[in-house]
């Protein structure tokens, strides 16, 4: 197996997220012996399980899903739970230049449809995962960033100048105004994942844990997937491994993806008085920094704070990244500098060489498909992308805007991706500017 990051990020003892606490997690046995299916899906996250559900339920396909660990062990079980717009790291102007006015409209419709898709799944399968009100707050990290929000805010967004943030519960030393949007909602990522898994299994999908695919080879009429204790033969294969991808499965994916670390901390429950003394808004929130911070209150009073960054998954480097996350949390939310952080964890999201997701066939490989590259916003986009690639695989009409149908470019000098990332993070740090001072742990 070939990964961009150290083995620690893929090992069973990589720290679990807050979301597994108190939940009965299935320990699905490995796939053994020789299995046959119409479709094999590699990766049991939102993309893979959504695809499997649609293929089995709507198109009558026999489907086997294989995960190297367990369903939701990747980013789908360890994210911030922002079910929101996003999926590409391109401005509207850049998407328009690449795909024209119609392409931009189609992409924006895809983003909204993705949120509706997840909401529909929660309703249809009675999945109790919603965690708060609809809408989100985008906080300007500088006066200049607020002026940019005023110029570029999405249609329908409501602008809140810096002086009015407090009356909306959005005040903080690092915030200079906000744009409020009405789309999206927060959810418990693992509750959604487990409900989705149950729905797929009820539709007849076979899901195997502890089943890393070690090789993918063309076979008569399809593909053979090698596993440590068996083999699966399938006419079609979907690669849905995103930031956890083995870069040789298939080789085409290697060098086209840039997995990136994201880190989250969760505090102990805040008292009502503590919450009122700080950032009290119930909205999912994030800031305008290139190296963005994202944060929200959880229903049990805990506060979740996340950030991108870090270029090594080695234990010492992760400890330093986690310390940096705590320092940034204290700097942006000084009212809670003394509140204990109960849990911290990290995971891998995925960028692509074209800064947009890819959903479609793997070029030159009959029967092989891929869906990946949600740019840190895969709760909605990854779910909907998975459902749409399933329709494509079944020969049905799929809602796939031009942006996600263009195979991503190879990144220049793929072996130097982490060095490039380190440089980019340093530059972003400079353009983002300094944070408010860290008051230190009280």
Ligand X SMILES: Cc1cc2nc3c(=O)[nH]c(=O)nc-3n(C[C@H](O)[C@H](O)[C@H](O)COP(=O)(O)OP(=O)(O)OC[C@H]3O[C@@H](n4cnc5c(N)ncnc54)[C@H](O)[C@@H]3O)c2cc1C
Minimum Å distance from CB 257 to ligand X? Answer: 11
Choosing from 4, 51, 64, 69, the residue that interacts with ligand X (CB under 6 A) is 69
Q: Which of residues 25-44 bind ligand X (CB under 6 A)?
A: 42-44
Q: CB 381 → ligand X: shortest distance, Å?
A: 7
Contacts (Cβ under 8 Å, ≥6 apart) of 20: 77, 190
- The CB-nearest residue to ligand X is 378
SS in 3 state form for the chain?
CCCCCCHHHHCCCCCCCHHHCCCCCCCCCCCCEEEEEEEEEECCCHHHHHHHHHHHHHHCCCEEEECCCCCCCCHHHCCCCEECCCCCCCCHHHHHHHHHHHHHHHHHHHHHHHHHHHHHHHHHCCCCCECCCCCEEEECCCHHHHHHHHHHCCCCCEEEEHHHCHHHCCCCCCCCEEEEECCCEEECHHHHHHHHHHHHHHCCCEEECCCCCCEEEEECCEEEEEECCEEEEEEEEEECCHHHCCCCCCCCCCCCEEEEEEEEEEECCCCHHHHHHCCCCCCEEEECCCCCEEEEECCCCCEEEEEECCCCCCHHHHHHHHHHHHHHHHHHCHHHCCCCEEEEEEEEEEEECCCCCEEEECCCCCCEEEEECCCCCHHHHHHHHHHHHHHHHCCCCCCCCHHHHCCCCCCCCHHHHHHHHHHHHHHHHHHHCCCCCCCCCC
- From the list 61-69, 354-362, 409-417, 433-441, the region that binds ligand X by CB under 6 A is 61-69
Nearer to ligand X, 222 or 243 (CB): 243
Q: How far is the CB of 380 from ligand X (least distance, A)?
A: 6
Site map 95..134 versus ligand X, x via CB under 6 A = ----------------------------------------
Residue 393 CB neighbours (<10 A) = 26
Which is nearer to ligand X, 243 or 360 (by Cβ)? 243
Q: Which of 310, 357, 361, 382 binds ligand X (CB under 6 A)?
A: 382
Size of the site for ligand X (CB under 6 A): 45
Q: Which of 1, 7, 3 is nearest to 315 (CA)?
A: 7
Site for ligand X in 330-349 (CB under 6 A): 347-349
Q: How far is the CB of 80 from ligand X (least distance, A)?
A: 3
Residues 348-367 that bind ligand X (CB under 6 A): 348-349
**Least spacing, CB of residue 274 vs ligand X, in Å:** 23
Cβ 71 to ligand X shortest distance, Å: 7
Site string for ligand X, 405-434 (x = CB under 6 A): ------------------------------
In the complex, minimum distance from the CB of residue 264 to ligand X, in angstroms, rounded to a whole number: 5
Q: Does 73 bind ligand X (CB under 6 A)?
A: yes
Which residue of 377, 392, 399, 417 would you call a contact of ligand X, by CB under 6 A?
377
CB of 1 to ligand X, least distance (A): 7
d(CA 275, CA 169): 10
Which residues 253-282 are close enough to bind ligand X by CB under 6 A? 262, 264
Q: How far is the CB of 10 from ligand X (least distance, A)?
A: 8
* 187-246 binders of ligand X (CB under 6 A): 212-213, 240-246
Give the separation between CA 132 and CA 83, rounded to whole angstroms: 11
| Pair of tokens at residue 435 | 């944070």
Instruction: Tell the smallest beta-carbon distance from residue 241 to ligand X (Å).
Output: 4
Among 19, 46, 185, 279, binds ligand X (CB under 6 A): 46
Q: Which stretch binds ligand X (CB under 6 A): 75-83, 114-122, 333-341, 423-431?
A: 75-83
Q: Could you list the residues that contact ligand X (CB under 6 A)?
A: 42-48, 66-69, 73-76, 78-82, 84, 212-213, 240-246, 249, 262, 264, 306, 347-349, 372, 374, 376-380, 382
């Amino acid at each position: 197996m070939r990964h961009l990051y150290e083995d620690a990020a893929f090992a069973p003892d990589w720290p679990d997220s807050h979301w597994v606490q108190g939940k009965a997690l299935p320990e699905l046995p490995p796939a053994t012996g020789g299995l046959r299916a119409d479709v094999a899906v590699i990766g049991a996250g939102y993309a893979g399980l959504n695809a499997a559900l649609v293929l089995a339920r709507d198109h009558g396909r026999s489907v086997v899903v294989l995960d190297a660990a367990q369903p939701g062990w990747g980013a789908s079980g360890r994210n911030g739970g922002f079910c929101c717009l996003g999926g590409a790291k391109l401005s509207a102007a850049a998407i328009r230049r690449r795909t024209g006015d119609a392409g931009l409209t189609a992409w924006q419709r895809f983003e909204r449809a993705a949120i509706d898709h997840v909401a529909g799944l929660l309703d249809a399968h009675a999945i109790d995962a919603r965690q708060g009100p609809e809408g989100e707050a985008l906080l300007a990290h500088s006066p200049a960033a607020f002026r940019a929000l005023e110029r570029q805010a999405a249609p329908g967004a409501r602008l809140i100048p810096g002086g009015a943030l407090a009356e909306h519960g959005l005040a903080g030393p690092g915030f200079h105004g906000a744009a409020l949007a009405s789309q999206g909602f927060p959810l418990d990522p693992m509750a959604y994942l487990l409900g989705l898994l149950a729905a797929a299994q009820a539709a007849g999908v076979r899901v195997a844990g502890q089943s890393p695919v070690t090789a993918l080879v063309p076979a008569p009429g399809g593909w053979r997937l090698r596993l440590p204790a068996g083999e699966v033969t399938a006419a079609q294969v979907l690669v849905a491994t995103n930031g956890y991808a083995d870069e040789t499965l298939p080789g085409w994916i290697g060098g086209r993806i840039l997995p990136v670390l994201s880190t989250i901390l969760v505090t102990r429950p805040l008292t009502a008085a503590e919450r009122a003394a700080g950032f009290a808004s119930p909205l999912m929130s994030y800031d305008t920094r290139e190296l963005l911070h994202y944060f929200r209150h959880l229903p049990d009073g805990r506060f979740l704070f996340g950030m991108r960054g870090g270029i090594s998954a080695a234990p010492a480097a992760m400890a330093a990244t986690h310390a940096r996350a705590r320092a940034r949390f204290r700097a942006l939310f000084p009212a809670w500098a003394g509140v204990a952080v109960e849990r911290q964890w990290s995971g891998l999201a995925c960028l692509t060489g074209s800064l947009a997701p890819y959903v479609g066939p793997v070029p030159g490989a009959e029967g092989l498909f891929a869906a990946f590259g949600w740019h840190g916003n895969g709760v909605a986009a990854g779910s909907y992308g998975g459902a749409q690639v399933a329709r494509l695989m079944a020969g049905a009409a799929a809602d796939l805007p031009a942006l996600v149908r263009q195979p991503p470019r190879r990144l220049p000098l793929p072996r130097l991706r982490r060095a490039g990332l380190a440089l980019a993070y340093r530059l972003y740090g400079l353009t983002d500017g300094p944070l408010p001072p860290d008051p230190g742990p009280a």
